Amino acid sequence: MTKKLFWDDPYLTACKAQVTSLEGNKIKIDQTIFYAFSGGQESDDGTIGGMKVVQAVKQGDRENIIDIEYELEQEPPFRVGDEVEIKIDREKRLKLMKLHSAVHLAYFFITEKFGTMKILGSNITPEKSRVDFESAKPLTELNDVETKLNAFLAEHHPIVRTRDEKSPDLLWWQCAQWKMPCGGTHPRNTSEIGKLRLKRVGKGTEKERVEIYLN
- Of all helices (H) and strands (E), which one includes residue 6? helix 5-8
36 vs 182 by CB, closer to Zn ion: 182
10 vs 184 by CB, closer to Zn ion: 184
101 vs 150 by CB, closer to Zn ion: 101
Smallest gap, in angstroms, from Cβ of residue 32 to Zn ion?
Answer: 19
Smallest gap, in angstroms, from Cβ of residue 161 to Zn ion?
Answer: 11
Closest residue to Zn ion, judged by C-beta, is 182
Report the side by side order of strands in the sheet with 196-202: 118-124, 129-134, 207-214, 196-202
Using the CB atoms, write b or e for 123-147: b if 16+ within 10 Å: bbebebbbbbbebeeebeebeebbe
DSSP 8-state symbol, 63: S
Smallest gap, in angstroms, from Cβ of residue 208 to Zn ion?
Answer: 19
Cα Dmax for the chain: 57
Smallest gap, in angstroms, from Cβ of residue 130 to Zn ion?
Answer: 13
84 vs 196 by CB, closer to Zn ion: 196
Smallest gap, in angstroms, from Cβ of residue 124 to Zn ion?
Answer: 8
Q: Are strands 196-202 and 207-214 parallel, antiparallel or unpaired?
A: antiparallel
Chain centroid to CA 161: how far?
A: 13
DSSP 8-state symbol, 190: G
Q: Which residues bind Zn ion (CB under 5 A)?
A: 182, 184
Smallest gap, in angstroms, from Cβ of residue 39 to Zn ion?
Answer: 5
Residue 11 CA neighbour count, 13 Å, CB half: 4
119 vs 154 by CB, closer to Zn ion: 119
80 vs 160 by CB, closer to Zn ion: 160
End-to-end alpha-carbon separation of the chain, Å?
A: 38
- Closest Cα to residue 72, out of 82, 83, 86? 86
